[in-house]
Amino acid sequence: MSMQNKPQMVEAVMFFSERGGVCKQMLFPEFEALLDGVVNMPEFADQQMRVAYVVINPRLLIKAAVFFYLDFDEKGAPDKGWNIPLQHLSEKAGRGPDLGAGPIRLACRSQCPVSWHQMHLWDPSLAPGQNDLILLRDAAKRNNLGLLVEDESAQAVAPERLQMASEDKWYAPDPSKEVADKLAEKLDQDHRLKTAQLIKQQRLRISSLSQQHEEELAKFKLASAEQHKSLQAQLQGLQQALRQQEELNASLKAQLAVQAASFQASREELSEQLRALERHGRSESDILRSQFENEVQARVAAAVVEYKEQIAIRDVELVYRNEQEAQLQQELERLRGERDELASQGGGQILERLAKLGVVFVVYHPGAGHLTIPLQDVARYRDNPMAYAAAKCFVSEEQYRQWLAHYQQPSCEAALPSGERCAIPIDRIDSPSRFAIGESNCCARHKASSRLRTVS
């Protein structure tokens, strides 16, 4: 076998599908060609893919792994601003589980050697039956990349690696005891190493589960808020319908009163006619009186029955709506209690438990560098991160904001007579405390001191 065909360590990249499992493999030079725009991946168009960079030894065993995200546009081209140093992360990564060639070097979101790349990494699932590390190990063993494999049958100890004991140690006084002690020491070391690997793997799994719990809690809070909003809208609708029904009942009662008054007026008119008829004849007046009384009673009775039926129907509907309103009010109180209970078990307690476990909160701000935020300052930082960073730099928030704009684009901010900015590149001031408005953010011609000299 020639020297160039000798098996050696190989860098590869493996893509995970949404359903789980490795869906695409390529060697690292092919991945670099993909990043350079030489080729595109239309099957990954408009997706954020979970990707793993792995280092594979000649026996097809994984020695290092970096789990990272890669975004593709609608044409299947990777994000042009992607710049994660995969090889550097894999070299500086901490220890991970043993995949057959000793503990691997593992870099992921919960174990990232470079803090500002943490947001671009993801944690592999360690659940039984869906262990992403096992999927990587099996994919490497299948050797779909066609890597050169070291012939294990030809493995033998090289002569130069053999060590011969000196003659005075050939005949040890008690060789069995010495062998037993060495074996016990080796077993103890193996046991300690496996225990440390298991603890490392469990910590990684605990971190991953904690993040999943936080995401589920946030989803539950959002669903609870939406359900509360929906019930509130439904309750308002029922209250409005109740008010309309009450107004309708009042209108019907008013109509009934008007009709009763009309009946009373008609009765008085008929009574006057009856008295006039009495003057013309007693018998005829008796007949008319009887007819009038029967007619008036029939009309009044019919009207009273009709309006009583309408009022009874409205009363039943009113009782039903009151019952619905009471049930909705009880449901609303229950949801409020659940929301308050979830809120009391939420962010504050989780942050306090994390702080007790030794977790520290570190953020990066230009000019201030990496800031470690104590637990008691988390709320103040969340309310105004810019003011918090300015205080750490011993400057005002306004000065820090203006310095940050200068730091991100060091150019002259003075206005020309035409109204446009001067925009001449100037030297960047790296420290907010040394930044002077009107001096540090202006070119030599527009500095305040230069203008004063010109005027004098």
**Which tens digit of pLDDT belongs to each residue from 275-295?**
877 777 767 767 778 889 899
Q: Are strands 22-27 and 126-127 parallel, antiparallel or unpaired?
A: unpaired
Name the stretches of the chain with pLDDT < 50. Answer: 1-3, 154, 156-159, 162, 164-173, 454-456
What is the distance in angstroms between the CA of the first residue and the CA of the last residue of the chain? 85
Contact predicate 110/126, CB 8 Å: no
Q: How far is CA 145 from the centre of its chain?
A: 36
Q: Hey, what's the torsion of the CAs at 150, 155, 157, 161, to 10 degrees? A: 0
Q: Name the token pair of 252.
A: 């019907």
Number of other CB atoms surrounding residue 14 within 10 Å: 22
Residues linked to residue 71 through DSSP beta bridges, in sequence order: 48
Contact predicate 204/65, CB 8 Å: no
Q: Name the token pair of 187.
A: 């077993």
Q: What pLDDT, on a 0 to 100 scale, did the predictor assign at position 254?
A: 93
∠ CA 194-196-202 to the nearest 5 degrees?
100
Q: What pLDDT, on a 0 to 100 scale, did the predictor assign at position 285?
A: 64
Q: Which residues contact 370 (CB under 8 A, 6 or more apart)?
A: 115, 362, 363, 364
Show the beta-strand stretches assigned E in 165-223: none
Distance CA 307, CA 255 (A): 10
| Secondary element (H or E) of residue 267 | helix 175-280
Amino acid code (one letter) for 122:
W
Contact predicate 58/20, CB 8 Å: no
Q: What pLDDT, on a 0 to 100 scale, did the predictor assign at position 163?
A: 52
Contact predicate 93/105, CB 8 Å: yes
Which residue blocks in 99-159 are alpha helix, DSSP H? 132-142
Q: What pLDDT, on a 0 to 100 scale, did the predictor assign at position 450?
A: 62
Contact predicate 213/205, CB 8 Å: no
Widest pairwise Cα distance in the chain: 164
Contact predicate 39/52, CB 8 Å: no
Environment class of 376 (CB within 10 Å of its CB; exposed 0-12, middle 13-18, buried 19+):
exposed
Q: What pLDDT, on a 0 to 100 scale, did the predictor assign at position 264?
A: 92
Amino acid code (one letter) for 285:
S
Q: Are strands 369-373 and 361-365 parallel, antiparallel or unpaired?
A: antiparallel
Q: Name the token pair of 119.
A: 């947001």
Q: What pLDDT, on a 0 to 100 scale, did the predictor assign at position 45?
A: 92
Q: What pLDDT, on a 0 to 100 scale, did the predictor assign at position 456?
A: 44
Q: What pLDDT, on a 0 to 100 scale, did the predictor assign at position 278?
A: 75
Q: What pLDDT, on a 0 to 100 scale, did the predictor assign at position 175?
A: 59
Distance CA 244, CA 365 (A): 58
Q: What pLDDT, on a 0 to 100 scale, did the predictor assign at position 319?
A: 92
Q: What pLDDT, on a 0 to 100 scale, did the predictor assign at position 343?
A: 58
∠ CA 297-303-307 to the nearest 5 degrees?
145
Q: What pLDDT, on a 0 to 100 scale, did the predictor assign at position 197?
A: 67
Q: What pLDDT, on a 0 to 100 scale, did the predictor assign at position 96?
A: 86
Q: Name the token pair of 25.
A: 């493999």
Residues linked to residue 72 through DSSP beta bridges, in sequence order: 78
Residues linked to residue 363 through DSSP beta bridges, in sequence order: 371
Residue keyed to tokens 């300052």:
377
Domain ranges of the chain: 7-150, 219-338, 357-455
Contact predicate 94/106, CB 8 Å: yes
Distance CA 207, CA 205 (A): 5
Of the CA atoms within 13 Å of residue 29, those in its CB half-sphere come to 2
Q: What pLDDT, on a 0 to 100 scale, did the predictor assign at position 156?
A: 47
